[in-house]
Structure 1
Amino acid sequence: MLSVRDLVSGYGGVPVLRGISLDVGPGEVVAVLGANGVGKTTLNATISGLVRATAGEIVFDGERIDGLAAPQIVRRGLVHVPEGRKIFPNLSVRENLELGSYTRAKPNRARNLERVFETFPRLRERAAQFAGTLSGGEQQMLAIGRGLMGEPKLLILDEPSLGLSPLLVDELFRLIAEIAKGGLAVMLVEQNVVQSLELADRAYVLENGAVTMSGAARDLAANPELEKAYLGM
């Protein structure tokens, strides 16, 4: 579904990503793990066309997409839910969701809206409410729901658990697992190592803009080097 090879990108001529390679297969949940500042958000932005790659290639669903503009990439079915939610606070929940189908899947808007409400019942309850008045967890559900409105083939989730209480994090990961059960490929980009590895099929660990570890999620969870670096053990 997604193949990234030797990807280099950054800002103002300063590289942040230093030759990253990774893959996401159809129906897979792949975790990309790392601390703040290692390049996770830059990776997402480069894959999504918001930052231009300076070297390497990105192939999505059999087509090379590095060099395409972000709307062109969305039309092909790669949808990125950004860090910080980026909802429209002065629009209603329903209006935010409907905007998710602006570029892709507009003819199926009503059907997809119903599916999102089934997945996130609280959004149905708050459909007419201004998005800015939702709790942090509800806003994250809204951001993911808006992404689902575009009928993605691959959904990139950038730090979905950021700023949420442990209870809400548990609920959010449960909902992501439910979404993935439907066969949607998910690239989960997170600092939350333990729960991400419990959910994912495979994982990559980033440090200083490069992949330092990769493999099956269960194997990485048992790797003493990962425990030492991220779990403090």
Structure 2
Amino acid sequence: MDEVLLSVRGLVAGYGQTQVLRGLDLDVAPGEIVAVLGSNGVGKTTLNKALSGVVRVGAGEIRFGGERIDALAPPAIVAAGLIHVPEGRRIFPDMSVQENLELGSFRRGKPNRAANLERVYATFPRLRERRGQSAGTLSGGEQQMLAIGRGMMGEPRLLILDEPSLGLSPLLVEEMFALIGRLNADGLAILLVEQNVMQSLAVATRAHVLENGRIVLSGTGAELAQNPDLEKAYLGM
């Protein structure tokens, strides 16, 4: 890979004495969708939190745009353009849709707030219709749109999407993966961390399967979709 936006080498991270990630290597190039797949409890969310500076890195290094970020605080990582849309949406339910979106540009993208807001509303027309509505009254799918829109407000160079399809109906899951494809087609690099295997592989440039804090299977999305070892690696059987 000639150019790397995100480079992770030998990453070790966890909580207290509990080691969750055990020497993980990962790259994301500009314009890629890289999927990280795995069942519950294998370390996917810990990876996202370590990349975002929320969980302390025990060993290894994380480079973003060529600069080490593993010792930086979360606001500095956001300011660099690595933006994490967390599992569970984490919107502010008592604030309006527009207020939630505007908060996304607090650390990065503030000079272009109006233009970015218009871009988000063009991407998510339903949010425009509900811009004065309390975010907590939105449907689950609309809240996920809001969480992604808030991430877009920060002008991400790399967007981490943590389980974006979680809790959505099958129809909304289809819409969500179509949206991910459109965002990527506009040039946005995405790290997609999901349990939804086949739909993730359908949009991913490359993919990795995580098991017990280590990557056990890697390849292009198309290669992994055809790999007979995928079920064994994914289910740990």
TM-score interval, smaller chain: over 0.9
| Conserved 8 A contact 2:162-2:192 | yes
| Conserved 8 A contact 2:62-2:68 | yes
Q: Tell me which of 25, 29, 40 is aligned to 2:44.
A: 40
Aligned partners of 2:63 and 2:233: how far apart in 1? 31
Structure 2 SS opposite 1:162: coil
Q: Tell me which of 170, 174, 181 is aligned to 2:174.
A: 170
Structure 1 SS opposite 2:59: strand
Structure 1 residue 227, shift from structure 2 partner: 3.4
CA-to-aligned-CA distance 1:115-166 (integer Å, 9 cap, x gap): 0001111100110110000000000000000000000000000000001111
Structure 1 residue 230, shift from structure 2 partner: 4.4
| Conserved 8 A contact 1:221-1:227 | no
Q: Tell me which of 214, 218, 233 is aligned to 1:210.
A: 214
CA-to-aligned-CA distance 1:20-79 (integer Å, 9 cap, x gap): 001000000000000000000000000000001000000001100001000000000000
* Total equivalences in the alignment: 232
Task: Report sequence identity in percent.
Answer: 71
Query: In the alignment, which residue of structure 1 is the partner of 2:12?
Result: 8
TM-score by length of 1: 0.98
Aligned partners of 2:193 and 2:211: how far apart in 1? 13
Structure 1 SS opposite 2:53: coil
Q: Tell me which of 85, 100, 105 is aligned to 1:101.
A: 105
Query: In the alignment, which residue of structure 1 is the partner of 2:160?
Result: 156
| Conserved 8 A contact 2:216-2:233 | no
| Conserved 8 A contact 2:210-2:234 | no
Q: Which one-letter code corresponds to 1:134 in the other structure?
A: L
Q: How does 1:47-86 map to 2 (within 5 A)?
A: 47-86=51-90
Give the unaligned 5+ runs of structure 1. none
Structure 1 SS opposite 2:207: strand
| Conserved 8 A contact 2:87-2:163 | yes
Query: In the alignment, which residue of structure 2 is the partner of 1:90?
Result: 94
Deviation >4 Å, runs of 4+ = 228-231
Aligned partners of 1:228 and 1:56: how far apart in 2? 28
Query: In the alignment, which residue of structure 2 is the partner of 1:117?
Result: 121
Q: Which one-letter code corresponds to 1:207 in the other structure?
A: E
Aligned partners of 1:48 and 1:197: how far apart in 2? 24
Structure 1 residue 13, shift from structure 2 partner: 1.9
Is 1:201 matched up with 2:205?
yes
| Conserved 8 A contact 1:93-1:130 | yes
Structure 1 SS opposite 2:172: helix
Aligned partners of 2:195 and 2:36: how far apart in 1? 9
Structure 1 residue 192, shift from structure 2 partner: 0.2
TM-score by length of 2: 0.96
| Conserved 8 A contact 1:48-1:78 | yes
Is 1:189 matched up with 2:193?
yes
Query: In the alignment, which residue of structure 2 is the partner of 1:224?
Result: 228
